[in-house]
Structure 1
């Protein structure tokens, strides 16, 4: 069992709130540790807000190029290179990681990469990503673990290796047909982006019944008419 290391504040999770708190406290003179399992800076710069907007912008450029004639610019056939779309997105993520690591270093807060779990009062054992364990205690403990995509309980869904937004943003090819389960803002973002890239897209939304009909049912909507 590793010997416990003592900090003024230990933060479990490096998302938006946790990292800003860590940097502020460390700059104020506290000894601070942040335990993060996977994404430096949290999900926003790694797999959510910023990467999705990066690909949405690439999709907008495809849309503008495809519709350039409306503005008086004549172009040839438009084709999306998803390998380059993904590379552009990854380049932005790499810059964000470098920024976060540099900010941790400058603030004095320690970033510990590994999976943490409470093993005693105000005590977290961290299984380090590169091997081994560390045990940290804090006068104050902050939980900032965020959320994850929910996978619906649909028979057969597991066998088809369905994607969440995380895997969708890693695609380096253009799906011929993308089916989006759920018409929330993330689903609509992905639907519009891939339609603009050139995929056929169908959204299946378990929303309220149409035209006052009773009962509940899933509503299917093809989005081939969305702006391309």
Structure 2
């Protein structure tokens, strides 16, 4: 016997799960969603939203310094944190009300599979609700991982949650990891007044991007006063009074009031009852391009699956997932957007913006990843500061744009923009890649003058069109 019968039950009420449940209900299916924490998930309270709220004020101040005649500052840290709280106040009643208004039943508690098409929800008071559903969607997100560093579990190390919800900026901060979280938080904290040391085991920052992007971000961080240690690992950490002291593999030591571990994330699939349906727990769920994991009833979206751990890609998957569930409920064939285009976006056109200063906005392949994939490519780049739009944007504008072209098909398969205020430039490149727009056609997409988008014309000219 079940306590609740619905067409769709979603485990996880972050933005990805909300999208899946809401879209399914909009198309006529009954939907429930299960959440053990805050409705709105990691992105809303501890990641994308609060981190950008911390970064925007300090980046705006830096931008004013690049325009003569504009004076601003100094930063009022208290007001920055107060504004952050307006965006990421851990009160999820508004998001819960949105679910209710959208017709989705919210069940607060921990959800686990209880066999095929069944989810058992354990509430905080120990009671349980069993949900029977035609379709089950896993949208449980991810959690930070910590490398095997001696003592790391004993020093009260921060994760992204601590860094984005801080009440007071520490005098100094050690950061372990030079990926997106590491470089963004280094940017925010050094400009909020902390002394920052960043330790990265690899030979460059943000290694998934073009190498030049990592070099320019490193140069900017060092100009701000960040001590960047590349090709270095922490072997041990300990508390020495109020400080954390980290021993590095070269025998040296660095210290800070706090240690932020920004060394990656893993899918949260440990305690989901996957074994009740013959699947191993603790691993990303291998969904196909329709987001299907098992039969025609179990689906996975967002960080719980094997795709890029990015909110916008998870929400994209959630829209596909809901549409697939609705199509199957109505006996329709799957095709069109559930096949080729889904595969294109998932595997070759994933956009991302890193909100450092300079910003890094990229989509699709880097030159290295394209060559590793066996594509015949040529990459060209152009300095954005050498366009009228770039020079007007900031004195001494430091940034570049690059495209990676498949020379057989003459289409773009990757693009990168680095510089102040380039975040929104990446969507045009995303459209060009997903639409497989030939360069000969792209030539007729005339950029407005004088904007930084003029760099598109310069890139095509550099390529030889």
Does the aligned pair in 2 maintain the 1:11–1:18 contact within 8 Å?
yes
Report deviation, 1:62. 5.0
2:48 alignment partner in structure 1:
49
Q: Which runs of 5+ in 1 are unaligned?
A: 210-220
Report deviation, 1:81. 2.7
- Structure label with greater radius of gyration: 2
Report deviation, 1:38. 1.0
Is residue 170 of structure 2 the alignment partner of residue 190 of structure 1?
A: no
Q: Which runs of 5+ in 2 are unaligned?
A: 205-217, 226-356, 358-465
Q: How does 1:32-181 map to 2 (within 5 A)?
A: 32-63=31-62, 67=65, 71-73=68-70, 78=74, 80-82=76-78, 84-94=79-89, 97=92, 99-129=94-124, 132-181=127-176
TM-score of the pair, normalised by structure 2: 0.41
Report deviation, 1:116. 1.0
Does the aligned pair in 1 maintain the 2:171–2:194 contact within 8 Å?
yes
Report deviation, 1:74. 5.5
Report deviation, 1:125. 1.6
Report deviation, 1:63. 4.0
Q: 1:113 to 1:71 in 2, by over 3 A?
A: farther
Distance 2:3 2:194 in 1: 53
Does the aligned pair in 1 maintain the 2:11–2:111 contact within 8 Å?
yes
Does the aligned pair in 2 maintain the 1:179–1:202 contact within 8 Å?
yes
Report deviation, 1:165. 0.8
How many aligned residue pairs are there? 212
Q: 1:91 to 1:131 in 2, by over 3 A?
A: farther
Q: What do residues 114-171 of structure 1 show as CA deviations (whole Å, max 9, x unaligned)? A: 1111223222221224653222121111111111111122111122101011111111
Distance 1:174 1:159 in 2: 21
Report deviation, 1:32. 0.7
Q: What do residues 157-187 of structure 1 show as CA deviations (whole Å, max 9, x unaligned)? A: 1221010111111111121111110000111
Is residue 10 of structure 2 the alignment partner of residue 11 of structure 1?
A: yes
Distance 1:120 1:8 in 2: 16
Does the aligned pair in 2 maintain the 1:59–1:194 contact within 8 Å?
no
Does the aligned pair in 2 maintain the 1:116–1:126 contact within 8 Å?
yes
Q: What do residues 73-126 of structure 1 show as CA deviations (whole Å, max 9, x unaligned)? A: 5668x35434x3333212112499455333312221112121111223222221
Distance 2:121 2:96 in 1: 19
Q: 1:57 to 1:197 in 2, by over 3 A?
A: same
Q: 1:29 to 1:40 in 2, by over 3 A?
A: same
Larger deviation, residues 31-40 vs 96-105? 96-105
Does the aligned pair in 2 maintain the 1:45–1:96 contact within 8 Å?
no
Does the aligned pair in 1 maintain the 2:58–2:75 contact within 8 Å?
no
Distance 1:50 1:8 in 2: 32
Does the aligned pair in 1 maintain the 2:118–2:131 contact within 8 Å?
yes
2:393 alignment partner in structure 1:
none
2:439 alignment partner in structure 1:
none
Does the aligned pair in 2 maintain the 1:40–1:46 contact within 8 Å?
no
1:212 alignment partner in structure 2:
none
Distance 1:194 1:94 in 2: 20
Distance 1:42 1:226 in 2: 32
Distance 1:162 1:198 in 2: 20
Does the aligned pair in 2 maintain the 1:63–1:196 contact within 8 Å?
no
Q: 1:74 to 1:33 in 2, by over 3 A?
A: closer
Does the aligned pair in 2 maintain the 1:62–1:80 contact within 8 Å?
no
Q: 1:135 to 1:87 in 2, by over 3 A?
A: farther
Name the SS of the counterpart of 1:52 in structure 2: helix
